[in-house]
Amino acid sequence: MRALAALLAAAVAAAPSPALADGGVSTKKKRSRRFKDETDPETGYVDPRARRLPRTHRFRLGLEAWYVRLSRITTDDGRSERFHLAPLGIDVAYQVQFLKYLMARPSFSFGINTANTFAAMPYHVHPKLHLGYQGKLVGVAVGYGYFTPVYYLIDQVDPVRGGLPEPVVRNNHHIDAEISFTTRDFHGALSFILRVGAVYSTLDHAQRRGERGWRPMVTFNLGWFFGETERGRKRRLAREARREQRRRNRRKRARRR
């Protein structure tokens, strides 16, 4: 036991300790907090565990699905069917960040209708624009969009499964609110978006021609923000280094005064 105690005492004595200046004050340099959540422009170090604010310019590729409930038709022999619109497709977006936490995101998607109105409206195009807040994890925004079938056939009956004549909705203008969640940005980031809104459409179905009105609309989007290139990373590090140098120069001038 005495030998073990002596060994522990020797290990404690040999352990390194922070350097002390005259008067017993530690001279250990404090860790800079300026770049605790960013790439250090002086060393180029990137911490993949840290959340960083979104870059100024980001491209996003996603898988998007939106749903709108349409009209019901009932025949004289008692048959009845409710119709739906549910396109699923690819969404391409460009997001720009400004004033640190504000963002603007124009996007365009092309979808194939997966609901029971495919024969009447098989393909849709969907441009939209969203503005709002984007933080390190959560984003909220409001937006406007317009979607329309590439071509349509009013009261078309599905030649494969049969059924009843299908409706067509055209001139679809919608407003919505969204909430998004984005993972850490390290060579790219995964994001999920949920939108709830209302769409103003013109409906053509059976005896209902040119009927206009509002309908609820729900959108799901799962996408990927592409990471910055090596050239873009070097430019960003150079900009941050210049900003840091300007801060140091301002502090030096303030001390001279």
In this structure, what token pair is assigned to residue 179? 């909430």
pLDDT bracket for residue 171 (50, 70, 90): very high
Per-residue pLDDT tens for 190-204?
A: 999 999 999 999 999
Per-residue pLDDT tens for 207-248?
A: 888 899 999 999 999 999 987 666 766 777 788 788 888 888
Q: How many CA atoms lie within 13 A of 1 on its CB side?
A: 0
Task: Decide if pLDDT at 123 tops 90.
Answer: yes
Task: Decide if pLDDT at 22 tops 60.
Answer: no
Name which of 26-30, 107-111, 172-176, 178-182 the model is least confident about: 26-30
- pTM of the predicted model over 0.75: no
Q: If you search the block for the tokens 């933080």, which residue do you land on? A: 135
Nearest residue to 91 (alpha-carbon basis) of 119, 112, 118: 112
Distance, CA of 185 to chain centre? 11
- Residue 151 has a pLDDT of 92
Per-residue pLDDT tens for 30-65?
A: 444 444 445 555 555 666 666 777 888 899 999 999
Residue 110 has what DSSP assignment? E
Nearest residue to 163 (alpha-carbon basis) of 226, 227, 119: 119
Contact between residue 68 and residue 216 where contact means Cβ atoms under 8 Å apart: yes
Task: Decide if pLDDT at 169 tops 70.
Answer: yes
Task: Decide if pLDDT at 21 tops 50.
Answer: no
In this structure, what token pair is assigned to residue 249? 């120069």
Task: Decide if pLDDT at 28 tops 50.
Answer: no
- Residue 3 has a pLDDT of 60
Element (H, E) at 239: helix 230-256
- Residue 25 has a pLDDT of 47
- Residue 12 has a pLDDT of 55
Go through 181-214 and write b for each residue having 16 or more CB atoms within 10 A of its CB, e for each that does not: ebeebeeebebebebebebebebbbeeeeeeeee
- Residue 222 has a pLDDT of 97
Per-residue pLDDT tens for 54-103?
A: 888 899 999 999 999 999 988 878 788 999 999 999 999 999 999 989 99
Please name the amino acid found at residue 142.
V
